[in-house]
Structure 1
Amino acid sequence: MIKTDILVIGGSAGGILTATTAKKVYADKKVVLVRKNKTVMVPCGIPYIFGTLKDTSKNRIPDAMLINAGVELLVDEIIKIDKENKIAILAENEEIAYDKLIIATGSLPIIPKFINGYDLNNVFAILKDEEYLNDILNKLVNMKDIVVIGGGFIGVEFAEQLKKDGKNVTIVEVAEKCLWQAFDNEICDIAEQEMKDNNIDVKSGIRVKSILGNDKVEEVELENGEKIKADAVILGMGVVPNSSIAKEVGIMVNEKGAIVVDEYMRTSEKDIFAVGDCAEKRCFFTNKNIPILLASTAAMEAKVAASNLYGLRYVRENKGIISAFSTKVFNKSFAAAGFTERRAKEEGFEVIIGKSTTMDKHPGSLPETSKLDLTLIFVKTSGVLIGAQISGGESVGEMINILSLAIQKGLTANELNTFQVATHPLLTASPVSYPINAAALDALINIK
């Protein structure tokens, strides 16, 4: 029998950071991480295997992160947990005795069994498995016409990368707009136009009726009767928590199958924690259960859990999910944090909007300068920031992180209006029109 102090099940972002943080915080404890796959993929990098990288090996998370931190890695599968005796049983019946257990088993792609033909050959769900992804990569080499079902981040990024690889790409989204969960219509329209300008056929506001073919996919039929030629279909319809091992041991899960956790990532069972996509997410503003499954969220949860395995050593609880996103579609970058205006109003907030349009370098005649559009969403009565959306150049990726922190700390329009910034012609927008300050001022004027 293997004995350890801390056992982590799952080797992606949440599991890795839980294990390495636990080893740093509790240096005298033995930490073992068990994962099923020989290699680990960078989750958010998977779409780029199919265009920019063209090689699954270039998208690996190196095991050196674990080894150098003093974490013991075991490539195997835990099939059962004996919670009373604190023993995890491996596939070959070997046992691991633990003191603290962290479940970080991630998520699984949604398989649309309600669509006829979902199980035809060359209909690909996206699993975080290098051998599986490499098989898809090899099969797509000789394919030309690809249909992507789902217009969220996964679907949009796959569509962009496959187009860059020279494919004929159609993206189908049942909602009114692609990326609608993260952005309001104005920025969704910019993203869709960027795809259309680069010859992706965007079909939003319509449902897939059937996937057609004999043995393998040949066409995708929409609910309006239109048929789209397809050599392959990519399923980008989102993911669901992979919580089966928790359910089997009697750990509480919610109605969506996510493991119920408290603000310190503790489950309903003593000495068992859960982090990442398999764990329940609560909205920062409403405390409602929300399906926001991100590697960056898993990283935050991992640090909270690992730091507090042996009592509340660091009182930094998980206060809820801000929902911070960023992506790049061809030459445009997009980022969001907090509520959209649409969602804020649905939740009953009366809001004031502040907007700013500027160039991300100054003067705007500098090379590689991009137009930057920023929208800030404030509560009308208090002026507190509850949402932000940006489109522009690559600088938006870090700007949204500033705004995510501002949301987390409850900063107001007045505070952001006088927010002190470092600026440089080659790196940032002008100090006289820095977008965060300018959008905050615009909101203050609108409040008055």
Structure 2
Amino acid sequence: MKKTDLLVIGGSAGGILSATTARKAYGDIDITIIRDTEKVMVPCGIPYIFGTLHDTNKNVIPDAGILEANINLIIDRVVKVDREAKRVTTEGGETIEYKKLVLATGSLPIIPTFIPGYDLENIYGVLKNQNYLNGVLEKVNGAENVAVIGGGFIGVEFAEQMRILGKNVTLIELADACLWQAFDKSFTDEIEASLKENGIKLLTGTKVTKFIGDKAVEAVELANGEQIPADLVILGLGVKPNAELAKEAGLPINARGAIVVDQYTRTNDPDIFAVGDCSEKRCYFTGQDAPVLLASTAAMEAKIAGSNAFQLRLVRANKGTISAFSTQIFGRTYAAAGLTEARARQEGFSMMVGEFTTMDRHPGSLPGAQKTTIKLMFSKCSGVILGAQISGGEAVGEMINILSLAIQKGTTATELNTFQVATHPLLSASPIAYPINAAAMNAIASNCRHLNEGLEI
């Protein structure tokens, strides 16, 4: 029987960072990661295997970091957690005792078993398994008509990559807009226009009722009776927590199937932590259940778990998920953090909104310059930032990280209006029109107009 001080089940972002953080926090303890795949895929890189990388081996998280940290790595699958004996049993017959355990078992794709024909050949969910993805890659290369079901980030990114390969692509979304959970209408309109301009057939507000085919899929039937030709289907319907192991061990599971944890990522067993997609998420603003399953959120939680495994060292560090996203679609970057305006109003927030558009170089005639559009939402009374959305060039990917930190720190519109920025003609917008400053100023100005009524100067 093997023994270890800290056992981590799962080898993606949550598992890796739980282990490496614990190594830095606690020094020379015995740490073991156990995972069920030889290689670990970069989760967010999976769509790009198909249209950009063309090889699953180019989308691998290296093991160098965990091996250099002297962390034991076991390739096997845990089939049972015995909480009373504080040990786990693997499919290969191994028994491992632990002092502390971190569950980082991730998520599984949602498969629409309620749709007839869901089990036909060439209909694929997005599993984070290299062998599985190699099989999908082989089928994609021979496909002509591809239907992508679901207009979230994975669906949109797969649709783009399939189109880059020259496939006939239909993207089908049940809601009225793609990416509606992250962006307001002005941004979703821009995204959808880009998809259509690049040759993707986009069907929003559309329900799939049947997959048609004999042995393999041949078409997708819609609620209106229309049939969309498809010799390959990608299911981008989202993911669900992979928490069966925890459930069988008797740990509490919430209504969405996620492991219930506190703000220190602890379960109700003081020796078991849970991080990443398998664990419960709560909204930063409301404290309500927020099923936002992101590698960046898993990384944050893993650092808390790794630091707090044997002592509480990071106090109240996890106050909820901010829901920070970024993606790139046909060369243009879209990013969001916090609440959308629609969601904030639905939650009852009184708001002021600031918007601004400028070029991301100064002058805008410089090579490679792109238009940047930004929208910031603030609490009308306190001025605290509630959410942000940006579209533009690659710099947008880091600008949203500034705004994610601003949300986490409760930064106000005045502070964002006056925060000092490093600008350069080849790298950024002008200092007199830096998007974050300018949008914050416009929000303040919109709120101040009523104060000027009747003012004599």
TM-score exceeds 0.5: yes
Q: Which amino acid aligns with 1:59?
A: N
Q: In the alignment, is residue 38 of structure 1 matched against residue 43 of structure 2?
A: no
Residues in 2 aligned to 1:266 and 1:23: alpha-carbon distance in whole angstroms: 19
- Alignment partners' CA distance in 2, 1:185 and 1:70: 49
Equivalent position of 1:77 in the other structure: 77
For 2:196, the aligned partner's letter is K
Letter in structure 1 aligned against 2:122 = N
Spell out, residue by residue over 1:83-113, the C-alpha distance to the aligned partner (whole angstroms, 9 max, x if none): 0110111112220010000000000000001
Q: Which residue of 2 aligns with 1:261?
A: 261
The separation in 1 between residues aligned to 2:146 and 2:268, in whole angstroms, is 44
Q: Does 2:131 correspond to 1:137?
A: no
**Mapped partners of 2:143, 2:315: distance in 1:** 53
Please show how residues 315-354 of structure 1 align to structure 2 within 5 Å: 315-354=315-354
Contact 1:304 1:316 in 2 (8 A): no
* 1:97 counterpart letter in structure 2: E
The percent identity for this pair of structures is: 60
Aligned to 1:393: 393
The answer to whether the aligner puts 1:285 opposite 2:254 as a matched pair is: no
Q: Which amino acid is 1:31 matched to?
A: I
- The equivalent of 1:233 in structure 2 is 233
Mapping of 1:76-155 within 5 angstroms? 76-155=76-155
Query: C-alpha separation between the residues in 2 aligned to 1:434 and 1:10?
Result: 42
Q: Is the 8 A contact 1:148 1:159 kept in 2?
A: yes
Unaligned runs of 5+ in 1: none
Which residue identity lines up with residue 6 of structure 1 in the other structure? L
Q: Secondary structure at the match of 2:46?
A: helix
Match of 2:454 in 1: none
SS of 1:29's equivalent in the other structure is coil
Tell me if structure 2 keeps the 8 A contact 1:115–1:209.
yes
Q: Which residue in 1 is equivalent to 2:270?
A: 270
**Which position in structure 2 is the counterpart of 1:308?**
308
CA distance in 2, matches of 1:313, 1:364: 48
- Secondary structure at the counterpart of residue 21 of structure 1: helix
- Measure, in 1, the Cα distance between the counterparts of 2:315 and 2:29: 21
SS of equivalent to 2:386: strand
Letter in 2 for 1:161: Q
Q: Which amino acid aligns with 2:435?
A: P
User: Displacement, 1:166?
Assistant: 1.1
Which secondary structure does the structure 1 equivalent of 2:22 belong to? helix
Aligned to 1:428: 428
Give the deviation of 1:332 after TM superposition. Answer: 1.2
Structure 1 residue ranges (4+ consecutive) displaced by more than 3 angstroms after TM superposition: none
Alpha-carbon offset, residue 382 of structure 1: 1.1
* CA positional deviation for 1:317: 2.3
Residue identity opposite 2:426 in structure 1 = L
Amino acid at match of 2:103: I
- What's the offset of the Cα at 1:313? 2.1
Q: Equivalents in 2 of 1:3, 1:145: separation in Å?
A: 52
Is residue 151–residue 236 contact of structure 1 (8 Å, CA) maintained in 2?
Answer: yes
Q: Which residue of 1 aligns with 2:67?
A: 67
What whole-Å deviation, never above 9, does each CA across 1:318-339 have from its counterpart, x for those lacking one? 1100000000000211000000
Distance in 1 separating the partners of 2:34 and 2:388: 38
What's the secondary structure of 1:5's corresponding residue?
strand
Letter in 1 for 2:171: I
Match of residue 158 from structure 1? 158
Give me the whole-angstrom Cα distance separating, in 1, the residues matched to 2:109 and 2:124: 10
Q: CA deviation at 1:65?
A: 1.3
Cα distance per residue 1:130-162 (max 9 Å; x no partner): 000001001111111000000000000000011
SS of 1:378's equivalent in the other structure is strand
The answer to which of 85-94 and 239-248 deviates more is 85-94
In the aligned structure 1, how far is the partner of 2:274 from the partner of 2:86?
A: 16
Q: Secondary structure, in 3 states, of the residue corresponding to 1:442? A: helix
Q: Is 1:408 matched with 2:416? A: no
Letter aligned with residue 398 of structure 1: E
Match of 1:170 in 2: 170
Distance 1:384 1:318 in 2: 19
5+ long unaligned stretches in structure 2: 449-457
- Partners of 2:316 and 2:344 in 1: CA distance: 26
Over aligned residues, Cα RMSD in angstroms? 0.7
- 1:140 and 1:309 map into 2 onto residues whose CA distance is 43
- Partner of 2:245: helix, strand, or coil? helix
1:102 partner amino acid: V
Distance 1:314 1:53 in 2: 39
- In 2, the alpha carbon distance for the partners of 1:218 and 1:142 equals 14
- Residue 11 of structure 1: aligned partner: 11
Mapped to 2, the partners of 1:196 and 1:372 lie a distance apart of 21
In the alignment, the residues of structure 2 paired with residue 275 and residue 350 of structure 1 have an alpha-carbon distance, to the nearest angstrom, of: 33
Q: Cα deviations across residues 306-364 of structure 1 (Å, max 9, x unaligned)? A: 00111212325211000000000002110000000000011111111100100011100
| 1:131 match: secondary structure | helix
Deviation digits for residues 389-441 of structure 1 (CA, Å, limit 9, x no counterpart)? 00111110000000000011111111111011000011100001000010001
| SS of equivalent residue, structure 2 residue 343 | helix
**Which residue of the partner structure matches residue 299 of structure 1?**
299
Structure 2 counterpart of 1:195:
195
The number of aligned residues is 448
Task: Provide the TM-score with structure 1 as the length reference.
Answer: 0.99
Q: Could you tell me how far apart the structure 2 residues matched to 1:76 and 1:4 are?
A: 16
Query: Is the CA contact 1:335–1:390 (under 8 Å) kept in the aligned structure 2?
Result: yes
Q: TM-score, normalised by structure 2?
A: 0.97
Letter in 1 for 2:302: A
